[in-house]
Amino acid sequence: MANAPSLAWPAPAKLNLFLHITGRRADGYHELQTLFQFIDHCDWLDFKPTTKDELKLHSNMGPVVADSDNLILKAAKSLKLHTAYPGGAEIWLDKRLPMGGGLGGGSSDAATTLVALNELWQTGLSKQELMALGLKLGADVPVFINGVAAFAEGVGEKLQAVTVPEPWYLVLVPDVHVSTAEIFQHPELVRDTPKLDQGSLLAGQWHNDCQALVQAKYPQVANALSWLLEYAPSRMTGTGACVFGEFATQQAALEALALKPDNLQGFVAKGLNRSPLELRRVQL
């Protein structure tokens, strides 16, 4: 399985093109205003329904995430429980997205699992029902199920579809893990950015409220960003650690990639307003 070039179901990464934190709820979660766009860089999954009451995951992730914590198995289990589905599934994961980088790979894997098993098990949930189930697994899961670029509010679950430019991105992956929970708990996090309407936000300057704090704590992120800013307008995605620069053409992004320092990982990807998961659904 390790070299399986492409399993059947994509789980794409997302970028937060901007991320504003506008407040904190009583339960500790933060109110956001953010713009999600997908990129054509994906994990790949495959699923085989079984009659046995068992969920089994084969993956190339290594032991970094225990099965009991894996969002894929959590998603499959929650769909099985919610619909009282008696059977199970064998699941394969070809992990390609960096973990804990603000690219949403775990959430995307969970979303693809819910969408795929709902189809293969014929459990018949609507997209809205899947999104509600997904939200219990993580704030970013619904946008991946919805599959279109979106302006998001609430904790990221109140979505409005948007059409924004689809540039090429050079994404850099600093060699550091940034914990989402740690950044959201930090006393110095900016959490009082004024709420604005969608039109003003889309037309304004895009920024990420977590970026200054993450840069200050993690020199690897600060260094990646200052290198990238020499080539293109660049920001951090989510709570980091990945940063992305916007390029008009694939060629320009690849030329910058070729010049990157050897100690930085990176890749070039296209911005997409419709996710590869959604495009697969439409094409079938």
Ligand X SMILES: Nc1ncnc2c1ncn2[C@@H]1O[C@H](COP(=O)(O)OP(=O)(O)O)[C@@H](O)[C@H]1O
Tokens linked to 204: 């304004």
Q: State how far the Cα of 26 lies from the Cα of 141, in Å rounded to an integer.
A: 22
Q: State how far the Cα of 153 lies from the Cα of 164, in Å rounded to an integer.
A: 17
Q: How far is the CB of 99 from ligand X (least distance, A)?
A: 4
Task: Considering the candidates 40, 43, 109, 140, report the single residue annotated as catalytic.
Answer: 140
Q: State how far the Cα of 3 lies from the Cα of 170, in Å rounded to an integer.
A: 24
Tokens linked to 54: 């068992």
Q: Is position 209 an interface residue for ligand X (rule: CB under 6 A)?
A: no
Q: Contact, 134 vs 112, CB < 8 A? A: no
- The interface partner of residue 55, options being ligand X, ligand SUD, none and the CB cut-off 5 to 8 Å by kind, is none
Q: Is position 239 an interface residue for ligand SUD (rule: CB under 6 A)?
A: yes
- The interface partner of residue 65, options being ligand SUD, ligand X, none and the CB cut-off 5 to 8 Å by kind, is ligand X
Alpha-carbon dihedral of residues 151, 157, 161, 165, nearest 10 degrees? Answer: 40
- The interface partner of residue 139, options being ligand X, ligand SUD, none and the CB cut-off 5 to 8 Å by kind, is ligand SUD
DSSP one-letter string for 236-262: E-TTSS-EEEEESSHHHHHHHHHTS-T
Specify the DSSP element, H or E, that contains 133.
helix 127-135
Task: Considering the candidates 14, 74, 80, 95, report the single residue annotated as catalytic.
Answer: 14
Tokens linked to 167: 């540039």
Among 101, 134, 142, 245, binds ligand X (CB under 6 A): 101
Q: Spell out the residues 6+ positions from residue 234 whose beta carbon is closer than 8 angstroms to its own.
A: 225, 228, 243, 244, 245, 246
The gap from C-alpha 206 to its chain's centroid, in whole angstroms, comes to 18
Q: How far is the CB of 9 from ligand SUD (least distance, A)?
A: 20
Which of the stretches 62-70, 144-152, 222-230, 258-266 binds ligand X when contact is defined by CB under 6 A? Answer: 62-70
The verdict on whether 14 is a catalytic residue reads yes
Q: How far is the CB of 70 from ligand X (least distance, A)?
A: 4
Q: State how far the Cα of 134 lies from the Cα of 157, in Å rounded to an integer.
A: 10
Length of the chain: 284
Closer residue to ligand SUD in complex, CB, 140/278:
140
Q: Is position 65 an interface residue for ligand X (rule: CB under 6 A)?
A: yes
Q: Is position 138 an interface residue for ligand SUD (rule: CB under 6 A)?
A: yes
- The interface partner of residue 71, options being ligand X, ligand SUD, none and the CB cut-off 5 to 8 Å by kind, is ligand X
Among 33, 34, 37, 107, binds ligand X (CB under 6 A): 107
Residues at the interface with ligand SUD (CB under 6 A): 16, 19, 28-30, 32, 34, 102, 104, 107, 138-140, 155-156, 180-181, 184, 238-239
Name the residues annotated as catalytic: 14, 140
Residues at the interface with ligand X (CB under 6 A): 65, 69-72, 99-107, 109, 180, 238
